[in-house]
């Protein structure tokens, strides 16, 4: 596994986090109806978490002497006022993010950098928790 391949994979994760920041900030602003008070806060907390994840991944790319992307993943962010659709889009996003980190972890393990592995595994667990939380919210 080449270092360039790991940097590419980390850049995909970073682009995904940058998209999550934009999507959750958008949904936090637009969510309406009776669920607005708690969902607006929930989405806003996801913005903060995604900024933190992006920062960790960016630092990992810097550590590997790579060039970190500033572009978000191109997947469309669906504009809606429907909170259920927002939650479904969030669920899709979290599943995609957890898959991305799941594919990165074995590459970083091979690299033998325990600190890097640990920091990315923490993010992977965050994404897994979000997937499960959204699954429960959508029940």
Rg, the chain, Cα only: 15
Q: Is residue 28 at the binding interface for Fe ion, with CB under 5 A as the rule?
A: no
Q: Is residue 53 at the binding interface for Fe ion, with CB under 5 A as the rule?
A: yes
Q: Is residue 11 at the binding interface for Fe ion, with CB under 5 A as the rule?
A: no
Number of C-beta neighbours around residue 70 at 10 A: 9
Number of C-beta neighbours around residue 125 at 10 A: 12
Number of C-beta neighbours around residue 29 at 10 A: 11
Residue closer to Fe ion (CB basis): 6 or 14: 14
Site for Fe ion in 71-100 (CB under 5 A): 94, 97
Q: Is residue 19 at the binding interface for Fe ion, with CB under 5 A as the rule?
A: no
Could you list the residues that contact Fe ion (CB under 5 A)? 50, 53, 94, 97, 127, 130
């Amino acid at each position: 596994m080449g270092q360039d391949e790991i940097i590419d994979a980390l850049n995909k994760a970073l682009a995904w986090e940058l998209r999550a920041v934009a999507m959750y900030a958008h949904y936090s602003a637009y969510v309406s109806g009776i669920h607005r008070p708690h969902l607006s806060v929930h989405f806003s907390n996801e913005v903060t978490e995604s900024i933190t994840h992006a920062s960790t991944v960016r630092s990992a790319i810097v550590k590997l002497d790579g060039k970190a992307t500033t572009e978000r993943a191109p997947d469309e962010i669906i504009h809606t006022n429907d909170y259920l659709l927002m939650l479904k889009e969030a669920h899709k996003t979290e599943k995609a993010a957890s898959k991305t980190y799941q594919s990165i972890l074995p590459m970083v393990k091979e690299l033998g950098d325990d600190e890097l592995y640990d920091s990315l595994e923490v993010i992977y667990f965050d994404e897994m928790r979000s997937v499960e939380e959204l699954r429960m919210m959508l029940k």
